[in-house]
Amino acid sequence: MTVIAPPAPRFPEDWPRFGMGSASLGNIFATYSESDAARTFAAAWDAGVRYFDTAPWYGHGLAEHRLGAALRGWPRDQALISTKVGRVYDPAPRGQDARVQWQGGLNFAVRYDYSAEGFAASLTQSSFRLGQPSVEALIIHDLDRDYHGPAFDGHMSALTGTGLAYLHRLKADGQIAAVGMGMNTLSDFTEIAPWIEVDFFLVAMPYTLADQAALHGPMADCARRGIKVIIGAPFASGLLANPSAPGVMYAYAPASAEMVTKARAIESVCARHGVPLAAAALQFPLLHPAVVSVIPGAVSAAQARQNAENVARPIPPDLWSDLKMQGLIDPGAPTS
């Protein structure tokens, strides 16, 4: 597919430090209306957000449709958009419900394809859903060994055979500014970070205020190799936004008592310094030299505005020192 694209921004120089993820507006845990989505995107834009991340997987196309509706009302040259490749959609057979995971996604059936052909098909579909001929970054979507199981080796062979080269050709031709790869698990991040040639990783879960297990392994590999990191899910599925909420989630599942206790302890230290837990959760990853952006989700206009306020809120350096002294964050975590 030939894409007529505006000049690509420079990565990471032109990348905003703060953006917005759209998984929740694909109805990941609950159903939100079209008006909910429209108001949320509008509030984020009005609060200064210019980087938006999405994916075909989020609601089986729903999040891309919703972001596309918002994009058509904004100056396109002011917005940076990333979406993901590796999952292609076909209409569900008549009378069958092909939706999985999503509370209210669209009824399309997913198939996984990490080859150049699959990536091209995925990009074409995303362009139509977004209503845009181009995006600024493409991200290899969550090639996780545990999730894909026996199919993992075949998918990785497709990626290293033709898929990754296709993405780098798009970048060389100026059609995108950057090539990324999504990471959800520490084990996959640890395995892949030392060798794959990408511009950045989109990391959801392995490096947050609640858990820095990736610090001395893959995050160090990224810093050493000059690979940047964008932090998705900085609230760790909700735990770092409100650890006392009923049924609070962590890492896409109900939070354990141990993690709730830890998050409440972090929240208590934050309170002594007059800092909301959510503000600390958003700003902590940005202190790592490899991290270029943090992209929390939002499901309401109020949340979008609150995220923008929290990422700009002043945080005293003593907060990080106190968290280290109490063993609540890794003593080696960058905090200055």
Give me the active site residues, please. Answer: 53, 58, 84
Tokens of 26: 């694909």
**In 10 A of CB 75, how many CB atoms?**
8
Distance CA(210)–CA(9), nearest Å, equals 33
Helix (H, G, I), strand (E, B) or coil at 329: coil
Roughly how many angstroms between the first and final C-alpha of the chain, as a whole number?
Answer: 45
Q: Which of 87, 21, 35 is nearest to 60 (CA)?
A: 87
**In 10 A of CB 285, how many CB atoms?**
23
Residue 180 φ/ψ, nearest 5 degrees = -125, 175
Tokens of 126: 């995303």
Distance CA(232)–CA(201), nearest Å, equals 10
> Cis omega before residue 56 (within 30°)?
no
Contact predicate 137/180, CB 8 Å: yes
Distance CA(256)–CA(233), nearest Å, equals 18
**In 10 A of CB 98, how many CB atoms?**
16
Q: Which of 253, 254, 255, 312 is nearest to 282 (CA)?
A: 312
Helix (H, G, I), strand (E, B) or coil at 161: helix
